[in-house]
Structure 1
Amino acid sequence: MDGGGGGRREVVAGELERLRAERQELDIRIRLLESELEAGSAAPASPAGEDAAAGVEDGLCGGGSGGACQTRREFVESGALPADMIYRYSRHLLLPDFGVEGQRKLSRSSVLVVGAGGLGSPVALYLAACGVGVLGIVDGDDVELNNLHRQIIHKEAYVGRSKVKSAADACRAINSSIKLVEHHHTLKPSNALEIVRKYDIVVDATDNLPTRYMISDCCVLLNKPLISGAALGLEGQVKIRGSSPVCTICGEKSVFTQEEFQKFDYEKFTESPMSDKSTPSLSLLPDSARVTCTEYKRMIDKGEPHLLLDVRPAHHFQITSLPQSLNIPLSVLEEKLPLLEISLKETMDTSAASDEQPSLYVVCRRGNDSQSAVQLLREKGFPSAKDIVGGLQSWAQDVDPDFPAY
């Protein structure tokens, strides 16, 4: 028999747990007090950080309450943590390598987020929540319904309104004490230097090649740290690039000037647009090998026998499609030509119009892959193949407004 020893062990274990918790709490309080002492003798912040603090001191706290601005101003100036800031940022303060001094530096810093989309949304929200001193957001687009599933900073109520306004309001709702600067325009060589030079750090959260090149060059010229993020499909990456000695822009012998930067054509250099709203349109075919969506609709209304070939990937075809269309993705079109021949023959057999091969029309999402498909088909013995200009996007715009656009 244990003589009640089991009950005694439970009591001792409980007392040990209580004492350990008290000791942990005392350790935390000691670290906080030590950090406050160190903060009192810390060196002044960088000029950019001072500008950030001055912005808050001027009352530019993103529309927050005067009390929130006051507590932040006191913290920035003295390094002493008000009670509400200790509570708000307590998880930061408990980190031995961050602590009070880390929070103070964060509160004196300024960050520019370029792009308020899928990447910029979580970045801006986290920066606001963690207490960055000044948060600038630049984007020239408006919120669209098909943004909301991934651009989590925006809400349905903001559809059709400025992304920057939407993002700034969301950040203010999280932390009213920070300063928010709204740049309601696209970042371009003509305005980038003026905007970027005001911030300590730049986050590139854009989605196109020319803008990425431009931001990188701008940060090199202004000696600003650049954090680049990218996401495609199910993959993503974040990196900080170092300089390359042989680079013509950031290398040791670079002669690239701010004047040259402002005149440089990044769209021409990368052969791609700075906005997904201006998707480049290919022109691979003569006019005789193409029809507009309106012309194709008239042909349908007349009952002309034909075969409609949809060359989008299979998972695109599952989203939406035109009636009676045959899906053979462009990537496998050449190997599936026998299937296309069979389908054309079946179309001809069901039509009593003539013995001639029925017309073959090719469609894709935006009218680029379909042109490549028509080129291939004509080379492989399908002379009747014609491209539908603008693809399903044009069909939705010009023929059927209720057709699902994506």
Structure 2
Amino acid sequence: MSGSHEEELARLRAQNAALQRECDRLNSRFGAPAEQGPLQAAAGGGAVASDGEATAVASPASWDGLGHGLTKDQIARYSRQIVLHSFGVQAQSRLCLGSVLIIGAGGLGSPAALYLAAAGVGRLGLLDRDEVELSNIHRQVIHTEASVGVHKAVSAARACRALNSSIQVETHLEALTPANAVQLVRQYDVILDASDNAPTRYLISDACCAAGRPLVSGAAIGTDGQLTVYCHGDDGPCYRCLFPEAPAAGNCARCVDAGVLGVVPGIIGTLQALEAVKLLSGVGEPLSRRLLVADLAAGRFHAVKLRAKSPACVACGSAPAITAASLPQYDYTAFTGQAAANDAAPLPLQLIPWEERITPAELQQRLASEPGAVLVDVRPAEQYNICHLPGAVHAPYKHFSRHLDAIQERLAAAAGVSLPPPAAAAGQQGQQDGGGTEQQDGTAPPPPPLYVVCRRGNDSQRAVAALRAAGISHGVDVMGGMEGWAREVDQGFPTY
């Protein structure tokens, strides 16, 4: 066993011993049975010293007349919220005895984990299967440059322990799956959904229904965000109550494609932490049956009233079909039509024949040997403005039909011919490819080579198909797009 593994094992054993002593103390005080479940273990009593040895748990203090169980150090640490009139010492005690599982240590989970650790939540679970990337750090503020390449759950746990060494932080490095979801959710008092894909959202909600745990759900994209609490109270709906049918894959925007202003998930994640604090402490009014919608570009927040739990819901209704026993067999990928990938690039597609596609290396060779070639870049303007190949025609795929005339004009200019007037062109449609005039021998000039590129090679295939439908039949797709160009041709070309 390596030294780091031995140190981790020693630390966990010390934490376990401290928790057991605190559990025994609480049993003797409140008369609880000798055996308790994992959620009932006290988390705020014994601290772990820097050498890995647990500190001794003091006897009940004479000044603790209410039996809140907080230590002198805890009172000093959390004093600014304890003296808050609407919060108080008993609420802090409940917070220190509570536990939260954060699913996703990214843009939402980062601020939530930091604030929950700072607030004194006794046991914090961090679940993520990905590693930190440089593109994460502008919004996932729990990670640093030194964390790039480190597992996100491990990186986040380090930050939480550095912020508050008196709490217990647990890492779950595996993906959340139907096989393990209910078991994991049952180990915590409150669940915080900081994921970013539809399959995982449905899975978390279903697991919370099966385990009887409240769910704090947040989302952020662009400059917009939203927040609510599911599975709470007698009439609180679950995610399926509101969305019994999965949204179409094309309607689910992701940060990797749509982008996100870094501070936006920070705001929503912080609000998620607040909802978790309210649920654990019993203070305040949780956002059950209300959806908080934030337009942060305009600085506007408003709450939308949500309908109550649906008796017909297959997850939380009167006769649910999805239960703790049946959930492990449920196919969330088939239900949503999407894979549970966290902010990952879409899978490469094969939409047109292979002979209509070339590699980035082949494109480089052809551009060097074909000075009249036309390159069309179909990425959105915000991506094209970051970086593009010299001379590329910008024709965003979202409005591709609007750019067909510009492409025709560029092809004609490259061929050294002029396009006929619109009326004449209508009568000549289909006679030649790319516009132009006849050569002296009466034949149409050969069209200049035409290549189409996008970010990864999917939209460019769609654009080639659209060109063919418009009568421009010689377009060629560049496989892998500009990301492929950066990998195969020019390692100095930016990726994003």
Do they fold alike, i.e. is TM over 0.5? yes
User: Does residue 75 of structure 2 align to residue 82 of structure 1?
Assistant: no
Equivalent residue number for residue 37 of structure 1:
none
Cα 1:60–1:81 change in 2 (3 A) is: closer
Equivalent residue number for residue 457 of structure 2:
367
Moved more, 328-337 or 134-143: 328-337
Q: Is the 8 A contact 2:315 2:321 kept in 1?
A: yes
Task: Choose between structure 1 and 2: higher helix proportion.
Answer: 1
Q: Is the 8 A contact 1:273 1:280 kept in 2?
A: no
Equivalent residue number for residue 224 of structure 1:
213
Moved more, 56-65 or 371-380: 56-65
Partners of 1:393 and 1:329 in 2: CA distance? 17
Equivalent residue number for residue 318 of structure 2:
252
Identify which of 257, 262, 270 aligns with 2:328. Answer: 262
Residues 306-354 of structure 1 show CA distances to partners (whole Å, capped at 9, x for unaligned) of 111111111111111122211111122212221111111122229xxx9
Residues 74-102 of structure 1 show CA distances to partners (whole Å, capped at 9, x for unaligned) of 89x94144333223212211222210010
TM-fit CA distance, 1:251? 1.3
| Superposition TM-score, scaled by structure 1 size | 0.81
TM-fit CA distance, 1:221? 1.0
Identify which of 203, 210, 231 aligns with 2:192. Answer: 203
Amino acid aligned to 1:97: S
User: Does residue 177 of structure 2 align to residue 188 of structure 1?
Assistant: yes
Q: Which runs of 4+ in 1 moved over 4 A?
A: 41-45, 47-50, 55-67, 69-75
Unaligned runs of 5+ in 2: 1-28, 231-236, 238-308, 418-443
Percentage of matched positions with identical amino acids: 42
Equivalent residue number for residue 358 of structure 1:
448
Equivalent residue number for residue 22 of structure 1:
none
Amino acid aligned to 2:455: R
User: Does residue 445 of structure 2 align to residue 379 of structure 1?
Assistant: no
Partners of 1:386 and 1:344 in 2: CA distance? 14
TM-fit CA distance, 1:151? 0.4
Identify which of 308, 325, 331 aligns with 2:398. Answer: 331
SS of alignment partner, residue 277 of structure 1: coil
Amino acid aligned to 2:99: S
Q: Is the 8 A contact 1:52 1:110 kept in 2?
A: no
Equivalent residue number for residue 279 of structure 2:
none
Residues 339-386 of structure 1 show CA distances to partners (whole Å, capped at 9, x for unaligned) of 111111122229xxx931112111111122212211211111111112
Cα 1:44–1:304 change in 2 (3 A) is: farther
Equivalent residue number for residue 165 of structure 2:
176
RMSD: 3.0
Q: Is the 8 A contact 2:137 2:143 kept in 1?
A: yes
TM-fit CA distance, 1:239? 0.7
Equivalent residue number for residue 384 of structure 2:
317
Cα 1:308–1:83 change in 2 (3 A) is: same
Cα 1:258–1:138 change in 2 (3 A) is: same
Partners of 1:72 and 1:298 in 2: CA distance? 78
Equivalent residue number for residue 91 of structure 1:
80
Q: Which structure is larger by alpha-carbon Rg, 1 or 2?
A: 1
TM-fit CA distance, 1:50? 5.1
Cα 1:71–1:287 change in 2 (3 A) is: farther
User: Does residue 353 of structure 2 align to residue 286 of structure 1?
Assistant: yes
Paired residues, number = 361
TM-fit CA distance, 1:143? 0.7
Partners of 2:204 and 2:465 in 1: CA distance? 38
TM-fit CA distance, 1:236? 0.6
TM-fit CA distance, 1:59? 6.1
Partners of 2:213 and 2:67 in 1: CA distance? 27
Cα 1:189–1:218 change in 2 (3 A) is: same
TM-fit CA distance, 1:70? 4.3
User: Does residue 491 of structure 2 align to residue 401 of structure 1?
Assistant: yes
Partners of 1:184 and 1:58 in 2: CA distance? 26
Moved more, 123-132 or 298-307: 298-307
User: Does residue 89 of structure 2 align to residue 100 of structure 1?
Assistant: yes
Residues 277-323 of structure 1 show CA distances to partners (whole Å, capped at 9, x for unaligned) of 36223332122322222222222233353111111111111111122
Residues 29-86 of structure 1 show CA distances to partners (whole Å, capped at 9, x for unaligned) of xxxxxxxxxxxx99989x6685341x5667679998845x8479989x9414433322
TM-fit CA distance, 1:240? 1.3
Partners of 2:60 and 2:162 in 1: CA distance? 19
Equivalent residue number for residue 21 of structure 2:
none
Amino acid aligned to 1:244: S
Equivalent residue number for residue 160 of structure 1:
149
Q: Is the 8 A contact 2:46 2:54 kept in 1?
A: no
Equivalent residue number for residue 11 of structure 1:
none
Cα 1:373–1:225 change in 2 (3 A) is: same
Amino acid aligned to 2:452: V
Q: Is the 8 A contact 1:52 1:134 kept in 2?
A: no
Q: Is the 8 A contact 2:95 2:122 kept in 1?
A: yes
Equivalent residue number for residue 390 of structure 1:
480
Identify which of 103, 126, 130 aligns with 1:114. Answer: 103
Unaligned runs of 5+ in 1: 1-40
Partners of 1:404 and 1:63 in 2: CA distance? 45
Q: 1:46-57, aligned counterparts within 5 Å?
A: 51-53=40-42
Partners of 1:72 and 1:172 in 2: CA distance? 26
Amino acid aligned to 1:381: G
Partners of 1:364 and 1:346 in 2: CA distance? 23
Partners of 2:60 and 2:106 in 1: CA distance? 31
Equivalent residue number for residue 308 of structure 1:
375
Cα 1:228–1:303 change in 2 (3 A) is: same
